[in-house]
Amino acid sequence: MAMTRLGAGRGIWEGCVGVAGVALSLCLVFAAPLSASATVLQRLDTATISRAATVIVVGTVVSTASELEGSGVRTAVRMSVTDPIKGSGPGTVTFYVPGGMYPDGRRVIVEGMATFTAGESACVFVDDRGWVYGGSQGKVDISGGRVTTTGQLLAVLTKAVRSAISDSSAVAPLGFVDPLADRPQAVTIASADGPTVTSISPGEVAAGVGDRITITGSGFGPSRGAVSFFYQIGEPRISAKAIVSWSDTEIVCEVPVDTVNGYSASPGSGPIVVTTATGVSTTSSQRLAISFGYGRYRWAADPSTHSTRATYRVNPGGIAGSEAAIDSAAAVWNAAGANFLFVDGGTTNVGSGMTSLDGHNDIGWASGLPSGVIAQAMYAYNWNGELVECHVTFSTDFAWGDGSGYTMDIQSIATHEIGHWLSLRDLYGPADSSKVMYGYSDFGDVRRTLSSGDRAGIIWIYGAGSAVNDVTTPATPSGATVTAQATLLLTTPSAPSSVRRRAKFSVSGYLKPGVVAGTNVTLRLYRYESGHWKLRKTVTTHAYGYSTFSKYSVKTSVPSAGKWRVRAYCSAASVSGYSAYRKLSAR
């Protein structure tokens, strides 16, 4: 999930800021005052992202450059294409990732997003807005003609991608190892006489709080090597910084947190890797359980009461039951037994994005987040490591409700995101999937109840206590009643980015859940005229079904040159929905 840092030691802002929830106002000088933490990502596999992405290319990064986008900043990545798999020709292509550097030197790092460096090679998946699809999942690193994380030949990956695009029911090529699959990072044992791990004690620890583990086994060697921890699929492992002792049969080290590709990362539950001083590695068969990861920042306690509070406001975004669901999420953390209290500050019409400090902690909905990003939390902190302001933005790309009827559960996502406000980090281990702080979610996923690790995290950071629940809209921790949107998910239509006027071109897309074969799907084509988008053509086609989804495909044309966009609409039985817009130009 994503963390955005503004001004990491470069830009310095000065001003008077009220610490939320504390009757105290301080004049502070802020270094790196903004951090967007916590992007909840929709879990994707290679087949799904291949079908959903608008552009897929393999190539080498030529350059990266920051550019302003409204009140925010993004990074433009220019890539020399060696294999234009989908939606692009040979030559170069430019796509974007959130974050970058403002002209005044303030830097924004959006965690959970892919990062790019000139000269590196990758297979990249891009959405219809030009963002890298699905955050870090939209980039597969390539080195020496092989997928870095799996060691598999690039040709096998591209064959699987093309197969998924051409046939939605296609089976992956024999032997294909999905680089986005839910499995630990691979480690090669260079010798049968290499090290062996027999036990890890204790079996469950927290990360970033000084907890130590003892690794016993054999063949570690007399000289100090390295210990690394599972983070998430497709990302580097997290290395131990503090190795307390090392012998041939026993290693003692602290369980760290770290920054991985600009993201404030915590190890997730999974195996550890021991690498000897001679470079021989082994993966433990035992999986180390991580209860929580600490983000190193926290809210300041009120010196008069020695308790900690944070007041939040909600912009309901026109979504029925959203305020009650968010209040329920706050109530869950308030009932955890910690000396911390979320206080309901009512509603607001202010947007939830944070490009400057305004003294409020706001939660709401916004459009324009990269595809596959469900929600994003942001926070600001001062030089003392104290949190001073937080925001959460839910993406309007998704249907929201209580998790039923193919919706995202507001309370579950809110409980996770405000967990980041507490300074708890994402956990991505497969064994962490029941925790509120698990970093992936999807339609129908419901995680409203804190795990023992979630509770341990807030209590460790803020101490045990019996704070009075001041949430003004009472709700039981089990959740509020939310009116679920009866919504179909329609993917952004697939269509060429450039067409000839009056010439036929294909438009296609997917619907989930599936609808009855023959159900009408309407395409609405708009032309940009005199500063406005005007509906100029409507085309009706029919969906055809599979077991869990449906597809439509139709040939159409536009009558005149100019800027166009198309979206799909379908109404079937008790559900309906619109797709996002696909932009195209006609000449």
Q: Is the domain of 117 the same as that of 265?
A: no
- State CA 69 to chain mean position distance: 20
Mean pLDDT of 358-383: 83
* Domain shared by 233 and 375, yes or no: no
Confidence check: pLDDT of 196 > 90 = yes
305 and 264 in one domain?
no
4 located within any domain: no
Q: Is 3 inside any structural domain?
A: no
**Within a 10 A sphere around the Cβ of 563, how many other Cβ atoms?**
13
Q: Give the range of the structural domain holding residue 552, as residue numbers without chain letter.
A: 489-586
pLDDT tier for residue 473 given thresholds of 50, 70 and 90: very low
Q: What is the pLDDT of residue 30?
A: 31
Q: Do residue 251 and residue 204 come from a single domain?
A: yes
12 has pLDDT over 60: no
Q: Do residues 121 and 142 both lie within one domain?
A: yes
Of 263, 293, 323, the position where a domain reaches its end is 293
Q: Is residue 402 part of a domain?
A: yes
Sign (positive or negative) of CA dihedral 295, 301, 306, 311: negative
CA distance 290 to 429: 9
Q: What is the pLDDT of residue 538?
A: 87
Q: Does position 409 have pLDDT exceeding 90, yes or no?
A: yes
Q: Tell me the pLDDT of the chain averaged across its residues.
A: 81
Query: For residue 558, is it within any domain?
Result: yes
Whether residues 278 and 342 fall in one domain: no
Task: Kindly indicate the confidence band of residue 133, based on its pLDDT and cuts at 50, 70 and 90.
Answer: very high
347 and 367 housed in the same domain: yes
Of 5-19, 250-264, 443-457, 511-525, the poorest mean pLDDT is in: 5-19
Task: Spell out where 70-167 has E strands.
Answer: 72-86, 91-101, 107-109, 121-126, 139-143, 146-147
**CATH number, domain containing residue 324:** 3.40.390.10
Beta strands, E only, 168-280:
196-201, 204-207, 212-218, 226-229, 238-239, 243-246, 250-254, 258-260, 263-265, 270-275
Q: What is the pLDDT of residue 431?
A: 92
pLDDT band at residue 564 using 50, 70 and 90 as cut-offs: very high
**What's the gap between Cα 466 and its chain centre?**
33
**Which residues are 213's β-sheet partners?**
253
| 431 and 514 share one domain | no
Pick the residue with more confidence: 1 or 308? 308
Q: Write the burial class of residue 479 (CB in 10 Å: 0-12 exposed, 13-18 middle, 19+ buried).
A: buried
Model confidence at 7: pLDDT above 70 = no
* Residue 438 forms part of a structural domain: yes
Structure-block tokens of residue 220: 């570690």
pLDDT in tens, 216-241: 999 999 999 999 999 987 678 999 99
Which of 443, 462, 481 is where one domain is finished? 462
Residue carrying structure tokens 């509770």: 455
Sorting pLDDT into bands at 50, 70 and 90, what band is 466? Answer: low
Instruction: Single out the residue in 166, 187, 214 at which a domain terminates.
Output: 166
Decide if 475 is inside a domain. no
Whether residues 452 and 311 share a domain: the answer is yes
User: Within this chain, do residues 528 and 417 fall inside the same structural domain, yes or no?
Assistant: no
What's 221's domain CATH number?
2.60.40.10
Residues 548 and 421 in one domain: no
Residue 70: what pLDDT?
72
CATH number at residue 68: 2.40.50.120
Residues 205 and 349 in one domain: no
Confidence tier at 173 by pLDDT (50, 70, 90): low
Number of domains in the chain: 4
pTM of the model: 0.66
Residue 46 resides in a domain: yes
User: How large is the average pLDDT for residues 452-478?
Assistant: 69
Is residue 472 a part of any domain in this protein?
Answer: no
